[in-house]
Amino acid sequence: MKIIKSIFNLITIMAIIAFLYFTNHLNTIFCGLAIVFYSISSSIHLIAHECGHLIGGVISGYKLVYFQVCPFRVCFNEGKLGLSWEKSLGGQCVMVPCQRYPLKFKAYNLGGIYANFALIIFGFVLLYFHSFWSSLLFLEIFLVGTKKILINAIPYKSHSVVNDGYTVMLLKRGDAVQKDYAMYLSLYSKIFLNKPIVLQQ
């Protein structure tokens, strides 16, 4: 996965430089603006990715525990809304399935990838404006989105952290894995919300 990230980062840099060169905007100022646009595109895709998980979870009948984008976190506990500011630049959408079997897991776990893909498709609208800025923004959205889709769709595990593709791959193995996954989410939510854990004999 590190190799894929490195290769795609190189492709991104080369594509942006080529775009600036062929539009006669290859200078320090516009390179700086391209970096700003890249940050904006990354933030847009991050929000879309987590919203995709949220929508997929709602469709599958999951309950939201917390939704986080960068430092902003929204937490739901027994119908009460809580807001907090965390030291993080990532995103996460943690939800709990209402039933452990049969477990609906594809929409929730792959929702983020679908959202990134949809954002790329909708991004083509920017090309109709026929301007340098809209074209640059589309290029950034396309590059960031493609990278995000690849690193989340290709099954990958780093130490104890797994991506969306790896999670789905595991859950496809059978009912036992799906039940364990549902139990894990339930226990995690109870620990996070400081709720008592009742062990069944």
pLDDT tens readout for residues 169-179: 999 998 899 99
In this prediction, residues 6-25 reach a mean pLDDT of: 94
pLDDT, residue 101, reads 76
> What are 36-43's contacts with CB under 8 Å, separation 24+?
37/136, 37/137, 37/140, 38/12, 38/140, 38/143, 38/144, 40/137, 40/140, 41/137, 41/140, 41/141, 41/143, 41/144, 41/145, 42/144, 43/70
DSSP-assigned beta bridge partners for residue 69: 72, 91
Q: DSSP class of residue 128?
A: G
CB atoms under 10 Å from CB of 49, counted, come to: 25
Ranking 14-23, 31-40, 73-82, 90-99 by mean pLDDT, the lowest is 73-82
User: Average per-residue pLDDT in the chain?
Assistant: 90
pLDDT tens readout for residues 70-111: 889 888 877 778 888 888 888 999 999 987 778 899 999 999
Q: DSSP class of residue 184?
A: H
pLDDT tens readout for residues 101-146: 788 999 999 999 999 999 999 999 999 999 999 999 999 999 999 9
List, in sequence order, the alpha helices (H) in the chain.
2-22, 28-59, 106-123, 132-153, 164-171, 175-192
